[in-house]
Every structure is written in structure tokens, then in C-alpha cells.
């Protein structure tokens, strides 16, 4: 989730529209994705995974006349794009919400093609609350901005001068002379550290100070989809042969071709595009024969898979301000808990709040029951808005780290990793096995557009 309100970001620029594939020349007519052929014949290309990168690759290949089949473990497409229809008339995104930076963003072009309505959210439209629930005033906000600039300057100086990596936390604590800070100052600085965790999904104890922000800068406004992000994946998937409920177990290749074995079938093709999330690759749930090159195995081991979880709460009425964001600065013993909230009322017209939890706390609460999570969220909301606020009438909660088909939310740069490792992750093996997915995009990892562009890149390795 990219929301740099207090912090400046530096970067390289988002890749342009050139890669946007044509949607007009579907090779196969419109079909229900689940109704694709049940045979396991030989295709030219197998795509593993029906997330945005796999769909982008398959779309590109099918539009250029390749026989392609997409194998997807889940009973739905979209992967980390997942629009819940559980509450009638209120589609909610449990994975990605935003197009981050609409300027030159291929997803913005797809949204226009899908005629999908978007709503801008403004990181500066925010109400911020202190540990006791009182609102941050102008002077306090200025002080926070100064502190956070200091943190960012310390990290930038480290990147310029250090030749050894260290954690974001250790560099910041050293620069702020942590042990000499008052508890109040530590509370504010901790809030700043957790902001990095919400942006990059890794723990600041493990995030690389040298490379945590190595990705591209976000250009333009952030927009979200009141009718859900699935409009984008549905558009890309139209007419593609997609086999859902196929859990890939092994991918083997030799000079004659590729065999992909699932829990049900065996598929054969000339080439395969693998879009398994980094967390799945790390888990070893899918084996590769005759084995992956050492550089790719190192990249899989060293890059980090972070966590960002969502908790939607639906109330009988609105009791919060009409800013897009609300932030809460907790006491030190509640580090990282319920610090960031977004007001879903404006996009949906419904009294719904969305609370985020990232990194360690985001991971910890996956072991809690829904009731425990909602109680914990309500504790923070009651501190801010008082004990007489209504109880929620519904909730929807994600547990991305426990999900066997992603094992985390998105990749981040962990101590010991380097940006070049993303290129190693992306590299084809033996001209038969191609790799895509958000973690393989050096400039725009962590994003939908990065994943999309990686799928196009992998497909072009086959067609160009
Ligand atoms: C909570 C959350 C919020 C986010 N917010 C944003 C945002 O606002 N904006 C943004 O740009 N990005 C956001 N992201 C990141 C974005 O969602 C991802 O970068 C992007 O969707 C990843 O696409 P992908 O194709 O690489 O992977 P995925 O979408 O994960 O696709 C991989 C596919 O492979 C399938 N698969 C896994 N294992 C197997 C197997 N063994 N056999 C067969 N299939 C398998 C999975 O089911 C999945 O469908 C968010 C992510 C999360 C989790």
C-alpha cells in the first residue's frame, strides 16, 4: 500500500503504456473460465497462475495466435486481485485496491477500456489521532513531518555512504539517538517506522536500509475502483482457456518440452510461464526439474515476502470524519496496531471502514479468531471516537500470509537481497521456463502494474 503522506519518495518512473496488449483480437470466443477444455493435450504454452501477471501473459500470447492454457489452483481468477461480493451491492477489494499513480500506468488504460469507474483518494486528506484519541493539531503535525524527514534523510545518507546493509530500524534508531529520546518522541518515531511497514509490507527489523525503496516512484494520483478491481482481471481473462482448481505440484522440462503436473492432471507444452508468488516459490510447494539455477534459488531465498492485511468493518451509521484517511498513533506497547484506516464511505456510499495491519502485527493476528481481531480494532476506534460508537454489523478479514497460494501479500527488499535479484528471479531457464509476477519486476514490484508488465515481458520472450 503506497501512501507517503509524511515521507518523500525517490524513484525512477513507472514504465509506460507501450506494453499494453490489444484486447480486441481474442483468439478464443467468450467462455466461462471454468468451462475451459477438460483435456490435457499439448499446448504451445502453459501459464501457471491466473493473477494479473498470468492473465497479461496469456492475453498477449492468445492475441498473437499461440495455443495457451492457464492453470490456476483456486476456484477463482485474479490471485491477489480479489473483489468480494459478500455484501450485496458493496464490492470490496480484499487484495489490491489502488492503481498507484495513474500517469503512464497500463492499468489506468485497462480501466478506461473496461469502462471501470475510479475514485481518487488523497493521502493529504487525513485525520490523525494521538494515543489518547485526541486529534493531532497543526503544530504536532509539523513536528511529525520534521521527525519523519529526519528519518528519511538518515536512510538516504546511509544509502549514499554505507557499504554494508543494515535494517531500516537500526539505521533510524542510530540517527535519532533512540536511547536518549523521551517516550513521547519514541511513540512518534515508531509511528513513522510503521509507516514504512505499511508501504513496503516487511518488518523494519528485516527491511534493507540500502534497498527498501529501490522501486520506481509513483507518478500521478492514486485511484480505486468502487465496483471492484476484478473489472480489470475479468477484462483480461475474457475468452482465455483457464483451468481453475488445478494445483500445480511440479514443473519439469527437457529438450523436448515442458510437463506441468497438478493434483489432478498432467499438462504438456513447448514452454511455460510461471507466475507463482514469491511466497509460494519459497515454500517449496512446487518442485522444478531438473532444478533452478543457483542465482534464481538465491533470489528466492533472499528476497522478502511481506504482509499487509485488511479488516473491513461495516457499521449501522457513519461516526468518523469525511477525510479519506485516518491514522492512529499507538503507545509503544501497541506498536504497529491499527495505525492506518481508510474511509470507504465516499467510494461506496456505505458506512464501511477499512483498517490495515502490516508486517509483524499483520502476521500475528492471522492466528487470532475473527472476533478477537474485530475486538482489537474496536478497541482503537473506541479510544478515538468514544465508548458509545455502535458495534459493527459485519466484517471481512484477510489472512494473506496463511493463504497457501500466496503465503504473504507482496515482496520487499530484505537485508541480504539486492535489486539485481529481481532480474535473476525474472530470468528464463533454458528458453523453456519463463517467470513473471510482481516480485520479478525490478522497478515496480509490489504493484498490480508491475505484475502486469512482468507478464507481458515473459510473453514477449516467447513471441518476439
Ligand atoms: C492486501 C493487499 C493489498 C494490495 N494493494 C495493492 C494496491 O492497492 N495497488 C497495487 O498496485 N498493488 C497492491 N497489492 C499488490 C498486488 O495485488 C500484487 O502485486 C499483484 O496482484 C500480484 O499479481 P501476480 O500475478 O504477480 O500474483 P498473484 O495475483 O498472486 O497471481 C498468482 C496466481 O498463482 C496462483 N497459484 C499459486 N500457487 C499455485 C499453484 N501451486 N498452482 C496453480 N496456481 C497457483 C494463485 O492462486 C494466483 O492466482 C496488494 C496486495 C495485497 C495482498
Per-residue pLDDT of 265-295, as tens digits, reads 999 999 999 999 999 999 999 999 999 999 9
Domains of the chain and any CATH numbers: 3-121+224-305+415-463 (3.50.50.60), 308-402 (3.90.660.10)
pLDDT at 323: 96
pLDDT tens digits for 178-188? Answer: 999 999 999 99
Is residue 4 very low, low, confident or very high in pLDDT (cuts 50, 70, 90)? very low
**Does 32 score more than 80 pLDDT?**
no
Cα three-residue angle 456-458-460, rounded to 5 degrees: 70
What confidence score (pLDDT) does residue 41 get? 58
Residue 74 Cβ contacting ligand 1 at under 6 Å: yes
Q: Tell me the CA–centroid distance for residue 276 and ligand 1, in Å.
A: 9
190 is in an annotated binding site: no
Output the pLDDT for position 218: 82
243 has pLDDT over 60: yes
| Predicted confidence (pLDDT) at residue 19 exceeds the cutoff of 70 | no
Q: Does the pLDDT value for residue 26 go beyond 60?
A: no
Per residue in 326-363, pLDDT (tens digit) is 999 999 999 999 999 999 998 999 999 999 999 999 99
18, pLDDT greater than 60: no
Mean pLDDT value across the chain: 91
Across 148-159, b (16+ Cβ under 10 Å) vs e yields: beebbebbeebb
How far is ligand 1, taken at its centre, from the CA of residue 168, in Å?
A: 25
71 Cβ inside 6 Å of ligand 1: yes
CA 46 to chain centre: 24
Tens-digit pLDDT profile for residues 92-112:
999 999 999 999 999 999 999
End-to-end CA distance of the chain: 34
* Cis status of the peptide bond prior to 290, with omega within 30 of 0: yes
H or E element at residue 325: strand 325-328
Structure confidence at residue 42 as a pLDDT band (50, 70, 90): low
Q: How far apart are CA 31 and CA 213, in angstroms?
A: 41
pLDDT-derived band at 217, boundaries 50, 70, 90: confident
Give the mean pLDDT of 85-97. 97
Residues with Cβ within 8 Å of 355's Cβ and at least 6 positions away in sequence, in order, are 310, 311, 313, 338, 340, 341, 377, 380
Determine the Cα–Cα distance for residues 280 and 8; give it in Å rounded to an integer.
32
ipTM over 0.95: yes
**Res 180: pLDDT:** 97
- Cα(422) to ligand 1 centroid in Å equals 16
Q: Are 151 and 196 in contact (CB under 8 A)?
A: no
Signed CA dihedral, 443, 445, 448, 450: sign only: positive
Segments in 136-182 forming alpha helices (H): 138-161, 168-175
Kindly state if the Cβ of 92 falls inside 6 Å of ligand 1.
no
Cell numbers given for 182? 523521551
25 falls in which pLDDT band (50, 70, 90)? Answer: very low
pLDDT recorded at residue 219 = 87
Asked whether 61 and 271 are in contact (CB, 8 A), the reply is: no
Residue 225 has pLDDT above 50, yes or no: yes
Q: What percent of the chain has pLDDT over 90?
A: 88
- Does any ligand 1 atom lie closer than 6 A to the CB of residue 448? yes
> Is the model's pLDDT at 37 over the cut of 60?
no
Rounded Cα distance between 283 and 447, Å, is 22
Q: Which SS3 state, helix, strand or coil, does residue 223 take?
A: strand
What is the mean predicted confidence (pLDDT) over 16-42?
34
φ and ψ at 193, to 5 degrees? Answer: -65, -40
Average pLDDT (134-141) is 93
Here the cell at position 265 is 492432471
- CA trace torsion 191, 194, 199, 200 (10° rounding): 160
79 CA from centroid of ligand 1 (Å)? 5
pLDDT digit string, tens, across residues 47-57: 999 999 999 99
Amino acid at each position: 500500500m503506497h501512501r507517503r503522506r509524511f515521507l518523500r519518495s525517490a524513484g525512477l518512473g513507472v514504465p509506460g503504456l507501450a506494453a499494453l496488449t490489444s484486447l480486441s483480437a481474442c483468439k478464443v470466443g467468450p467462455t466461462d473460465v471454468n468451462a475451459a477444455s477438460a483435456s490435457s493435450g499439448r499446448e504451445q504454452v502453459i501459464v501457471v497462475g491466473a493473477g494479473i501477471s498470468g492473465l497479461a501473459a496469456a492475453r498477449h500470447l492468445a492475441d498473437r495466435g499461440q495455443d495457451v492454457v492457464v492453470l490456476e489452483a483456486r476456484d477463482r481468477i485474479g490471485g491477489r486481485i480479489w473483489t468480494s461480493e459478500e455484501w450485496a451491492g458493496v464490492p470490496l477489494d480484499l487484495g489490491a485496491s489502488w492503481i498507484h499513480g495513474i500517469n503512464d500506468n497500463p492499468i489506468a488504460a485497462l480501466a478506461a477500456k473496461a469502462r471501470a469507474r475510479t475514485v481518487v483518494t488523497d493521502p493529504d486528506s487525513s485525520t490523525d489521532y494521538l494515543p489518547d484519541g485526541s486529534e493531532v493539531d497543526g503544530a504536532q503535525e509539523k513536528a511529525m513531518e520534521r521527525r519523519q524527514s529526519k528519518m528519511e534523510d538518515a536512510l538516504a545518507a546511509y544509502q549514499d555512504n554505507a557499504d554494508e546493509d543494515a535494517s531500516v530500524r537500526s539505521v533510524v534508531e542510530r540517527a535519532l539517538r533512540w536511547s536518549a529520546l523521551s517516550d513521547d518522541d519514541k511513540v512518534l518515531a515508531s509511528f513513522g517506522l510503521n509507516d514504512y511497514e505499511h508501504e513496503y509490507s516487511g518488518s523494519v527489523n528485516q527491511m534493507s536500509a540500502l534497498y527498501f525503496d529501490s522501486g520506481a516512484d509513483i507518478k500521478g494520483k492514486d485511484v480505486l475502483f468502487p465496483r471492484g478491481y476484478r473489472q480489470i482481471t475479468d477484462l483480461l481473462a475474457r475468452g482465455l482457456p483457464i483451468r481453475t482448481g488445478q494445483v500445480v505440484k511440479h514443473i519439469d522440462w527437457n529438450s523436448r518440452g515442458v510437463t506441468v503436473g497438478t493434483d489432478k492432471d498432467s499438462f504438456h507444452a513447448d514452454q511455460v510461464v510461471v507466475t507463482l508468488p514469491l511466497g509460494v516459490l519459497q515454500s517449496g510447494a512446487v518442485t522444478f526439474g531438473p532444478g533452478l539455477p543457483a542465482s534464481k534459488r538465491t533470489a528466492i531465498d533472499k528476497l522478502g515476502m511481506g504482509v499487509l492485511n485488511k479488516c473491513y468493518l461495516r457499521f449501522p451509521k457513519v461516526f468518523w470524519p469525511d477525510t479519506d484517511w485516518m491514522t492512529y498513533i499507538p503507545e509503544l506497547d501497541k506498536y504497529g496496531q491499527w495505525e492506518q484506516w481508510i474511509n470507504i464511505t465516499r467510494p461506496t456510499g456505505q458506512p464501511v471502514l477499512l483498517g490495515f495491519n502490516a508486517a509483524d502485527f499483520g502476521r500475528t493476528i492471522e492466528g487470532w479468531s475473527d472476533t478477537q481481531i474485530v475486538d482489537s480494532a474496536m478497541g482503537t476506534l473506541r479510544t478515538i471516537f468514544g465508548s458509545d460508537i455502535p458495534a459493527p454489523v459485519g466484517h471481512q478479514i484477510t489472512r494473506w500470509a496463511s493463504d497457501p497460494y500466496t503465503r504473504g501479500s507482496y515482496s520487499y527488499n530484505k537485508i541480504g537481497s539486492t535489486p539485481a535479484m529481481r532480474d535473476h528471479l525474472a530470468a528464463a531457464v533454458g528458453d523453456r521456463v519463463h517467470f513473471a509476477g510482481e516480485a520479478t519486476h525490478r522497478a515496480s514490484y509490489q504493484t498490480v502494474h508491475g505484475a502486469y508488465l512482468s507478464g507481458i515481458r515473459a510473453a514477449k520472450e516467447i513471441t518476439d
